[in-house]
Structure 1
Amino acid sequence: MELFAQSWSALRTAVGELSDEDFGRPSGCAGWLVRDLLCHLVIDAQDVLITLVTPTEAEPNRDSITYWRVSDTRPTGDDPLDALIVRLAAAYQDPALLTFHLDDVGAAAGRAAALADPAQRVATQDYALTTADYLGAYVLEWTLHHLDLIANLPHVTPPPTETLTRAREMLEQIAGTPFPASISDTEALRIGTGRRTPTPAESTELAALAARLPFVLG
């Protein structure tokens, strides 16, 4: 719960550091500009709000790790929702409007998470899980997208060390094996999720794990 708040606050703070020109730069999500990524974050924040007010009596069948579905197919941009996000982002025109919307909905999602009962069971995507596990899953989401945000913006503050460490732990649990200690948390996350390809030296260090990459999360 605390890492959810920390990762979300850090990401929103980083958005506040953007210049208008930054919105038109490529993000770390293939095919998306920074403005497209921010529009996706608005929808993510809405999903958090919706899920937190969707209680269920069902027994949990997912946790913060098994919440993630793993594919080896990289996004192509042809998904209808992905295409919609690009159109929505372009419709904002003034970056300040997009920033305002994200700040407004994002702050509400943060408040709702802080007020939530960690033991409450919630339903989303036909899953049942505790609020703590649901919010815990988003530590990986927020941290990856924070890295996407700064991929081509070195002047923007990176994710906190604590959330990078936890996101890496989560990815390693999803993978079922650790990444080499010689690879930093940031690069393990980028390489592991296909945001960049490993160098020949990194591939050697990754050994058999290299053949299983990337882990495309959804």
Structure 2
Amino acid sequence: MRTAVAALPDTAFEQPSGCTGWLVRDLVCHLIIDAQDVLITLVTPAEAEPTVDAVTYWNVEDRPPTGEDPLDALTVRLAAAYEEPRLLTFHLDDVGSAAGRAAELADPGARVSTRGEVLTAGDYLTAYVLEWTLHHLDLIAHLPDMAEPPPEGPARSRAMLEEIAGAAFPASFTDKDALLIGTGRRTPTDAERAELGELAAKLPLLLG
């Protein structure tokens, strides 16, 4: 994500992202908050047995975000306060690189606590593979010249989304299409909907 954001031209920060109501700059600000959350969680040990894993960490919401959530609104105001794209990029690189080092040093089997749940550090970081892969797609949703996520991310994220859905996406779907359609970021065509069969009734999966 740091590499993808560093490659953005300044003009891209004022473009819409794939997140409803957010510009690219708002999404980048959210990524900074994500990186802070990783740092906080990895130094918040827990003694209790895990309550969730990388898949059950995710809740499926009833309705999509509207942008009216107080934290979402704060993110937009905070992003605007940066004023210059380079400041957002610098902060993400600074905090993101620290989060990356912390992830490399973490014991995957250690238990950590976040959002009122307990899970292993390995499962927590695996959950973020899905989070950041989706947000990489959000980042470039209206920027066709920007690089796609590395293929390992969409492949792992698709597998996780299929576990959450309790069903596999059609083999004809690319990993990217499975993620975009599965999470409501793109409406399936009539042909794709027919291929989805009974799975279509479960979509979109609004993750929170």
Structure-2-length-normalised TM-score = 0.98
Question: Shift of residue 16 of structure 1?
Answer: 1.0
State percent identity of aligned pairs: 69
2:164 corresponds to 1:174: yes
- What is the alpha-carbon distance in structure 1 between the residues aligned to residue 81 and residue 189 of structure 2? 38
Q: Which runs of 5+ in 1 are unaligned?
A: 1-10
- What is the alpha-carbon distance in structure 1 between the residues aligned to residue 87 and residue 163 of structure 2? 38
The residue matched to 2:113 in structure 1 has which SS? strand
Q: Which residue of 2 aligns with 1:195?
A: 185
The one-letter amino acid of 1:126's match is G
Q: Which residue of 2 aligns with 1:164?
A: 154
Post-superposition CA distance 1:168-213 (Å, at most 9, x none): 0000000000000111100110010011111111111111111211
The one-letter amino acid of 2:23's match is L
- What is the alpha-carbon distance in structure 1 between the residues aligned to residue 169 and residue 109 of structure 2? 31
Report if aligned partners of 1:72, 1:213 keep a CA contact under 8 Å in 2. Answer: no
Report if aligned partners of 1:72, 1:214 keep a CA contact under 8 Å in 2. Answer: no
Q: Which runs of 5+ in 2 are unaligned?
A: none
- What is the alpha-carbon distance in structure 2 between the residues aligned to residue 58 and residue 170 of structure 1? 25
- What is the alpha-carbon distance in structure 1 between the residues aligned to residue 80 and residue 181 of structure 2? 29
The one-letter amino acid of 1:163's match is G
Pairing 1:131-146 to 2, within 5 Å after superposition: 131-146=121-136
- What is the alpha-carbon distance in structure 1 between the residues aligned to residue 165 and residue 61 of structure 2? 11
2:55 corresponds to 1:65: yes
Q: Which residue of 1 aligns with 2:110?
A: 120
Question: Shift of residue 12 of structure 1?
Answer: 1.3
The residue matched to 2:47 in structure 1 has which SS? coil
The one-letter amino acid of 1:58's match is A
Report if aligned partners of 1:118, 1:132 keep a CA contact under 8 Å in 2. Answer: yes
Post-superposition CA distance 1:71-97 (Å, at most 9, x none): 131111110000110111111111001
- What is the alpha-carbon distance in structure 2 between the residues aligned to residue 95 and residue 52 of structure 1? 28
Report if aligned partners of 1:46, 1:109 keep a CA contact under 8 Å in 2. Answer: yes
Q: Which residue of 2 aligns with 1:3?
A: none
The one-letter amino acid of 1:185's match is D
2:38 corresponds to 1:48: yes
Post-superposition CA distance 1:140-177 (Å, at most 9, x none): 00100000011111111111111110000000000000
Q: Which residue of 2 aligns with 1:12?
A: 2
The one-letter amino acid of 2:14's match is G
Structure 1: which 4+ aligned runs deviate by more than 4 Å? Answer: none
* Count of equivalent residues: 208
Structure-1-length-normalised TM-score = 0.94
Alpha-carbon RMSD:
0.7
2:22 corresponds to 1:32: yes
Q: Which residue of 2 aligns with 1:8?
A: none
The residue matched to 1:129 in structure 2 has which SS? strand
- What is the alpha-carbon distance in structure 2 between the residues aligned to residue 166 and residue 14 of structure 1? 19
